[in-house]
A = this chain, B = another copy of it.
Amino acid sequence: MSAHDLTIGFDADDTLWHNEVIFERNHERYRALLAGYHDATTVNRVLFATEMRNLPFYGYGIKGYTLSAIETAIEVSGGRISAAEIRQLIELGREMTTHPVELLGGVTDTLAALAPHYRLVLITKGDLHNQERKVAKSGLAAHFQHIEIVSEKDTDSYRRLFARHRIQPEKFLMVGNSLKSDILPVLELGGAGVHIPYHLTWAAEHAEPPVAHPGRLFTLRHMGELPEVVRQWAQR
């Protein structure tokens, strides 16, 4: 295959820049704030259940998370939480919307090495406003021919993206930290996947590892290993 026919998709949160660790630090402060009402395990359990129940209404992102966190706080405190404490929760959530974008190691060099030879596309899900902010702050936008912010990453949404950009699945490689959102749907459609696990995974992104897909599924430890895998994949 000619390299210029090939498209490489990149997830953003926890693939190009840190995200889950920011939520995790926020959760720690959240649990500390609620420590007088309930133990951390209960808070975690109720928060996750509330987030999952609200997902059809709110979708992904910080604002929906913040609303679920307030709802959880009211529930686990039995309605005893004060207005001042809820104001702190709003503040905690808002801080996340302005958190600096911290790139993962090897990202800048890898994108710069690949961009002249392949069509690079950023494919991220979540809140439009906040994802646009992070793309802008990252300084990485110029490496990508297209930036796609979608509300969900499943086979339907990848199929729509393939149609929109006239991508043949067998000429598409997706790079990301989430088996569920980045790898499994792309393998199902006939594309290839490079899984680069992040040290933290949100429970909602949990998925069983797929069976082996020789030549179509790669697992790497960090982004610096990507150019060599792309070279192998492009020459098959």
Contact = CB atoms under 8 A, between A and B. Distances in A.
Interface string A94-111: 100110000000000000
Contact of A82 (B54, B66, B79, B150): B79
A84 B150 CA distance: 34
B59 A87 contact: no
B74 A87 contact: yes
A57 B151 contact: no
Nearest to A94: B57
Most chain B beta-carbon contacts within 10 A, residue among A61, A67, A74, A90: A67
Interface stretch (A11-19, A123-131, A188-196): A123-131
A125 to B, nearest CB: 9
A129 B125 CA distance: 10
A77 B67 contact: no
A66 to B, nearest CB: 6
A86 B83 contact: yes
A197 interface: no
Contact of A128 (B77, B82, B90, B127): B127
Interface in A122-175: 127-130, 132, 149-151
Most chain B beta-carbon contacts within 10 A, residue among A71, A80, A83: A83
Interface in A38-91: 54, 57-61, 63-64, 66-67, 70-71, 74, 77, 79-84, 86-87, 90
A97 to B, nearest CB: 4
A176 interface: no
21 contacts: A58-B63, A58-B129, A59-B127, A59-B130, A60-B129, A63-B63, A66-B67, A70-B70, A70-B86, A71-B87, A74-B83, A74-B84, A74-B87, A80-B83, A81-B83, A82-B83, A127-B127, A127-B128, A128-B150, A128-B151, A132-B151
Given A54-B94, A59-B128, 17 more contacts: A59-B130, A60-B129, A61-B63, A63-B64, A66-B67, A70-B70, A74-B86, A74-B87, A77-B83, A79-B83, A79-B84, A82-B83, A83-B86, A86-B86, A128-B149, A128-B150, A129-B151
